[in-house]
Amino acid sequence: MEDSKLPLSLRNNLLDLFGQIEREFENLYIENLELRREIDSLNERLTGDGQIIEGGDPTKGALKTKASHSTSQLSQKLKTTYKASTSKIVSSFKATTGSRALCQLLKEYVGHRDGIWDLSVTRTQPVVLGTASADHSALLWSIETGKCLLRYAGHAGSVNSIKFHPTEQMALTASGDQTAHIWRYMVQLPAPQPPPDVSAPCDDDQDSSDREEGEVDGEGPFEVPTVRVATATLKSHQGVVIAADWLVGGRQVVTASWDRAANLYEVETSELVHTLTGHDQELTHCCTHPTQRLVVTSSRDTTFRLWDFRDPSIHSVNVFQGHTDTVTSAVFTVGDNVVSGSDDRTVKVWDLKNMRSPIATIRTDSAVNRISVSANQRIIALPHDNRQVRLFDMSGVRLARLPRSNRMGHRRMVCCTAWNEENQSCNLFTCGFDRQAIGWNINIPALLQEK
């Protein structure tokens, strides 16, 4: 290894992974020896019992058959256990060595002074990343360089969500100060830098050590343009505004609040058009359909609701009751599906044409926060309380887990995910309570081929 041409970080990563494999095989070898001793001991006991039975019991044939059958069952059970353990090790080895090109860390976006609740990617040029933080600010970032381009400082409370106008350079932010703000931005992208030489596998069985808890590098954005005044302030709620989104066309917005209501506003006049009531507890999220005048709102009351504004005179509502704990988010896909995530550790895929029961259920080992679904490939990205991010397809098949080791990934709860499929490559962005956002390059064709 002294003459290796591999970068030091990659060499260390390989050594760490092969060390894990060696430890797993060592444990498996010890377990196998113990199982073999148990089998030998049981065989000796059964053989001894058989000899006694042959000398003094006319039913020896039946008993011998029964004993033989018991031995066979035990052996089969032990073989099954051994095979399952071996398969797990082998599959882990395959994922570790064969999936290196699936996920590549693109960039880390460090500058917020508190946890990041939400993030979003602009739908117009120039394409930038927006983050919403508990530090009362929203920041816009260059995706390629990781440089902070602009800061919005108009809120007096935590900024809980950020969404961009479909055609104009405007942002919509929701805040703990009981308002939602619409504000304009102008940014200029810096010259791109060479991509970092950092890559890692999407490995479902990797269990690397975590980085030490501590302060994030950097003390915030320096000398960046700051916007302090909103173009419009929406202030009809009586509680924290937890989320907001643009309706198709960008002429109206919907907000969701802890006052148990969602509000629909006209953008041009800031006028309150409708108050959507019905939830029994605080709202947690709202989302609009990309091509139709449909809205979903999720709540701590374990339900999410579908609101239909396609007919101005009828605002029908459907209630989805499939979760047993807080519904943390519900989002539309391109088509007739809604995907909901919950603190009950499940994600459910629903058909809007038949809402009686979900068409797929994903069960996880940790609470699920604000999910997102890629528009082109319909891949669901799940951010978890346990710092992991997992990828699933719409049928509930697990595709991958984003790397989390002492060199990359989030150190605390992951709050939100967002996709960007505008370019040739597919990027996934994640943010967490460790004050940073992370951009990942996802090799979709390789990911689907692995499946």
List the CATH number of the domain containing 126.
Answer: 2.130.10.10
Of 218-232, 266-280, 397-411, the range with the lowest mean pLDDT is: 218-232
Query: Is residue 272 included in any domain, yes or no?
Result: yes
Domain that holds residue 139: 115-186+223-448
pLDDT at 44 over 60: yes
Tell me what the mean pLDDT of segment 94-98 comes to.
39
Give me the percent of the chain exceeding a pLDDT of 90. Answer: 60
Residue 68 lies in a domain: no
- In terms of pLDDT, which residue wins out, 205 or 155? 155
What pLDDT, on a 0 to 100 scale, did the predictor assign at position 37?
76
439 found inside a domain: yes
Q: Is residue 66 a part of any domain in this protein?
A: no
3-state secondary structure string across 374-443: CCCCCCEEEEECCCCEEEECCCCCEEEECCCCCCCCCCCCEEEEEEECCCCCEEEEEEECCCEEEEEEEC
375's tokens: 């528009």
How many structural domains is the chain composed of?
Answer: 1
pLDDT of residue 349: 97
Q: What is the pLDDT of residues 367-386, one digit of tens each?
A: 999 999 998 889 999 999 99
Judge whether 10 lies within some domain.
Answer: no
- Whether pLDDT at 236 is above 60: yes
Do the domain assignments include residue 151?
yes
Q: What is the pLDDT of residue 146?
A: 95
Identify the pLDDT of residue 52: 40
* Residue 56 counted as domain residue: no
Asked if residues 155 and 241 have their Cβ atoms less than 8 Å apart, the reply is: no
Residue corresponding to tokens 């960008």: 250
Ordered DSSP codes for 106-160? EEEEE--SS-EEEEEE-SSSSPEEEEEETTS-EEEEETTT--EEEEE---SS-EE
More confident residue, 24 or 33: 33
Q: Note the pLDDT of residue 16.
A: 76
Residue 72 is assigned to a structural domain of this protein = no
How high does pLDDT run on average in the chain?
Answer: 83
pTM over 0.85: no
At residue 197 the predicted structure's pLDDT band, cuts being 50, 70 and 90, is: low
Asked if pLDDT for residue 5 goes beyond 60, the answer is: yes
| Vertex 9: Cα angle to 6 and 14 (nearest 5) | 75
Question: What pLDDT does 367 receive?
Answer: 97
Question: How is the beta sheet containing 180-184 ordered, strand by strand?
Answer: 159-164, 170-175, 180-184, 232-234
Higher pLDDT among residues 363 and 33, named by residue: 363
